[in-house]
Amino acid sequence: MAKPRLWITRKLSDNTEARARRDYDVILNPDDTLSTADDIVRMSAEVDAILPCHSEHFNASVVERLDARLKIVANHSVGVDHCDLDALKAKNICVTNTPDVLSDATAEIAMLLLLGAARRAVEGDTMVRQGEWDTWSPSFMVGSQVSGKRLGIVGMGRVGQVMAKRARGFDMEVHYYNRTRLSPANEQGAVYHDDLPSLLAQSDMLSLHCPATEQTKGLMDRAAFAQLPKGAILVNTARGALIDESALLEAIESGHLAAAGLDCFVTEPGGNPAFAKHSNIMMLPHIGSATFDTRDAMGFRALDNLDAYFANREPKDKLV
C-alpha cells in the first residue's frame, strides 16, 4: 500500500524529519524557504497532507483554492490563528495542532523577558559590549525587583499555569483573568479576576498567555495600559496581535509603563522598528518554544496526529 504523501513546509528537527521519511512519502524543505499562497495551493494538488508552521497562512481565499486531494493540515504550532478553521471545515479538511508540549519552554522565555525587562538587561548588556561601563555607584542601573511582586496573567491555560508555577518560585503573588475560573487544584492559590480591568489594576507585572482571536486582538490598548499601575512591566509571549503597538509605545514613552519584554509582534518576521530605540523594551524573535526538546516534541505530536488520521482514528488534537 502506498504511503500517504506529506509536505512539510519548513525545516523541522532532524528527528522529526527522520520519522516522517520513515512513515510517509515526504516532501521536505531543506533550505527552509517561505512558501507563498500560490505554493500552498499548488502543493495541495500533489499531497494528501500538509504539516505547516505558523508562517503558512490558510486564510479563506487560500482555502477556497485548495485541491480536493488535501485531507489534513497538521499544524506544527499550538496557535492556529493562521488558519481559517471555518473555511477548512467547510472544505472537509481536518486541522490539528500541537498543545501541551511547549508550555515549559514558552514559560521559560516569559520569565526570561520578565527578569530582563525588570532588571534592565538590554541596557546593561549593551553598555558592557560597547565598552561603555566605566562607573559604579549605589544608584547605578537600578531596576525593579521581581520577587514579592503581584504578577497578573491573562489566559490561564497550559502556558499560563506553568508561568504561575515559575512565578511562585520568585515568591510572586499570582493573579489571573481567564474565561473560566480554574479548579482550586489548578489555581494553586492564585487570585481569580472575572474581568480584565480588575486584573490590570492589581498587576505590578503582566504576562499575556491567551490566544489571538477576534475578541482578544488589540486587548492591550490605550485604555488597558492606563489601567495598569504606573511603573508596571508587560510581557508578551503569546501573539503580537494582542497588543496595540502604538499604545505600547505611548505607555513606554510617557513612563507609565516601566518596561516591556516581547517575544512576538504584529509584524513577523521583522518586529516593530520603533521599539529598537527603547532600551527598556527587551525583544526576542518569537523563540518561545525554540528548544531542541520542544521542537522534537512538537514535530512528533504533529506526526502522531497524522498517523491517527491515516489509520482512520480520531487525531488527539483535532480542531475541525
Segment 56-82 mean pLDDT: 97
User: What's residue 185's pLDDT?
Assistant: 96
Strand pairing report for 281-283 and 257-262 = parallel
Distance of CA 308 to the CA centre of its chain: 26
Tell me if 80 is assigned to some domain. yes
**Rounded distance, CA 173 to CA 271, Å?**
31
* Cell numbers 474565561: residue: 179
pLDDT (tens digit per residue) in 103-161: 999 999 999 999 999 999 999 999 999 999 999 999 999 999 999 999 999 999 999 99
Tens-digit pLDDT profile for residues 19-53? 999 999 999 999 999 999 999 999 999 999 999 99
Which among 150, 158, 166, 286 is annotated as catalytic?
A: 286
Is residue 317 one of the residues assigned to a domain? Answer: no
Q: Is 239 a catalytic residue?
A: yes
Q: What cell was used for 208?
A: 499575556
Residue 36: strand, helix, or coil: coil
pLDDT tens digit sequence for 178-228: 999 999 999 999 999 999 999 999 999 999 999 999 999 999 999 999 999
The C-alpha cell that represents 154 in the structure block:
491573562
173 catalytic residue (yes or no):
no
Here the contacts of 194-200 (C-beta below 8 Å, separation 24 or greater) are: 196/154, 196/224, 197/224, 197/227, 199/152, 199/154, 199/175, 200/152, 200/224, 200/227, 200/228
Range(s) of the domain holding residue 122: 103-283
Verify that 116 and 183 share a domain, yes or no: yes
262, 123: one domain? yes
Q: What is the CATH number of the domain that holds 32?
A: 3.40.50.720
Q: Cell numbers of 16, please?
A: 522529526
pLDDT number for residue 103? 96
Give how many domains the chain has, as a whole number: 2
Do 264 and 118 share a structural domain?
A: yes
Cα gap 153→210, rounded to integer Å: 9
Look at residue 318 and tell me if it is in a domain: no
What pLDDT score was predicted for residue 32?
A: 98
pLDDT of 62 strictly over 90: yes
The catalytic residue among 239, 245, 295, 301 is 239
Q: What is the DSSP letter of 156?
A: -
The b-or-e profile of 163-178 (16+ CB within 10 A means b, else e) is bbebbeeeebbbbbbb
Torsion of Cα atoms, 70 then 72 then 76 then 82, to 10°: 70
Closest among 196, 149, 204, 148 to 176, alpha carbons compared: 196
Q: Is 268 a catalytic residue?
A: yes
Residue pair 183/160 in contact (Cβ under 8 Å)? The answer is no
Looking at the structure, tell me whether residues 20 and 126 fall in a common domain: no
> Under a CB-based contact definition with an 8 Å cutoff, are residues 300 and 98 in contact?
no
Does residue 87 contact residue 310 with C-beta atoms inside 8 Å? no
Catalytic option among 222, 268, 313, 314: 268
Give the amino acid at 65: R
Q: Which pLDDT score, from 0 to 100, does residue 10 have?
A: 98
Same domain assignment for residues 187 and 241: yes
**Longest C-alpha distance within the chain, in Å?**
74
Same domain, 246 and 113: yes
84 with 230, same domain?
no
Residues 64 and 137 in one domain: no
- Asked if pLDDT for residue 1 goes beyond 80, the answer is no
Q: How confident is the model at residue 64 (pLDDT cuts 50, 70, 90)?
A: very high
What is the rounded average pLDDT for all residues in the chain?
97
